[in-house]
């Protein structure tokens, strides 16, 4: 039986890219049999020397995303001396872009994971979506960039989280005939509210499947077609009062609905213009 090599995935940052490429490569053979060692945050030549010393004991291959020139040169030289194949994942791409653009690369590790202002905006938006999900706190409606309204299982929560990763603060409110919408909803500017509707038969199928997966009675009122029709009509009546845009999510993927929402709110200029130019192309 052929002894498979150990794949070392090295990086002067967290090493996700190097490991991903190593695993993608291994999958082209018999991925489960390969041992992949991810070694992140390499900062010194001494660390590289120890890794090479260990790798020489085994049948090894090294792939890396090290961008620091000194560390890259040291790794290349030491690996060559010991006859260990190395794959520089970042180097050729950086050189190609530099040659074509004429720009000088920063060659600083971890820039893609930098905790900058945009990162914290995304975190804040996710926290906002969690805090104001499913009508938990109606006071959050007035702080939201977007408020989603609709009956249960119209993807309000998944949409809220998807949009949150675009740095959009989203609150959502369920429409239930027996429960009046919070008064704060009617104080939100119309252009910030999006109504979500769905075909009753489609919703019947979704709810029935949901109940079955939870071990509950799929014939319950929650999934009954007459009840669903009542909920959908009630939701529409509230949306008409709000005079808000309405999107039918019956046959739309989350991404498609989210893009449509962003298009609507950007058209109404409720979001930053630069953001809209980037995300609605």
DSSP assignment, residue 272?
-
pLDDT band of residue 192 (cuts 50, 70, 90) is very high
Residue 68's contacts (CB-CB under 8 Å, 6 or more residues apart) are 12, 107, 109
Per-residue tokens: 3: 């002894």
- For residues 229 and 114, the model is more confident at 229
pLDDT score, position 66: 94
Q: Which residues, listed in sequence order, are joined to residue 179 by a DSSP beta bridge? A: 176
Say whether pLDDT at 278 is over 60.
no
Say whether pLDDT at 3 is over 90.
no
Can you give the pTM of this predicted structure?
0.64
Backbone torsions φ then ψ of 20, nearest 5 degrees:
-60, -45
pLDDT score, position 5: 85
* Calpha distance 127→7 (Å, rounded): 38
Determine the average pLDDT of the residues in 172-201: 96
Determine the average pLDDT of the residues in 222-232: 95
pLDDT score, position 219: 85
Backbone torsions φ then ψ of 136, nearest 5 degrees:
-60, -45
Could you write out the three-class secondary structure of 102-171? CCCCCCCCCHHHCCCHHHHHHHHHHHHHHHCHHHCCHHHHHHCCEEEEECCCCCHHHHHHHHHCCCCCEE
Closest CA to 154 of 136, 179, 134: 134
Length of the chain: 281
Domains and CATH numbers, the chain: 6-113 (3.40.50), 117-279 (3.40.50)
Q: Diameter of the chain by CA atoms? A: 76
pLDDT band of residue 107 (cuts 50, 70, 90) is confident
Determine the average pLDDT of the residues in 241-246: 96
């Amino acid at each position: 039986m052929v002894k498979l090599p150990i794949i070392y995935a090295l990086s002067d940052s967290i090493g996700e890219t190097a490991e991903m490429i190593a695993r993608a490569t291994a999958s082209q053979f018999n991925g489960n049999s390969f041992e992949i060692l991810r070694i992140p945050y390499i900062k010194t030549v001494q660390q590289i020397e120890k890794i090479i010393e260990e790798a020489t004991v085994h049948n090894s291959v090294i792939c890396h995303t090290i961008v620091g020139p000194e560390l890259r040169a040291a790794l290349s030289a030491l690996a060559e001396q010991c006859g260990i194949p190395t794959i520089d994942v970042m180097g050729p791409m950086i050189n190609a872009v530099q040659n074509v653009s004429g720009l000088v690369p920063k060659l600083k590790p971890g820039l893609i994971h930098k905790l900058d202002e945009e990162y914290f905006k995304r975190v804040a938006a996710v926290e906002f979506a969690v805090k104001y999900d499913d009508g938990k706190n109606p006071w959050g409606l007035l702080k939201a960039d977007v408020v989603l309204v609709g009956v249960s299982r119209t993807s309000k929560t998944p949409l809220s989280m998807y949009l949150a990763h675009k740095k959009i603060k989203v609150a959502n409110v369920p429409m239930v005939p027996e429960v009046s919408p919070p008064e704060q909803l009617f104080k939100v500017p119309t252009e910030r509210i999006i109504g979500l509707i769905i075909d009753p038969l489609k919703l019947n199928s979704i709810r029935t499947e949901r109940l079955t997966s939870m071990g509950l009675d799929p014939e319950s009122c929650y999934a009954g077609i007459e009840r669903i029709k009542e909920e959908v009509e009630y939701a529409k009546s509230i949306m008409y009062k709000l005079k808000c845009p309405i999107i039918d999510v019956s046959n739309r993927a989350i991404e498609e609905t989210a893009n449509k929402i962003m298009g609507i709110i950007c058209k109404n200029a409720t979001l930053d213009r630069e953001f809209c130019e980037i995300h609605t192309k």
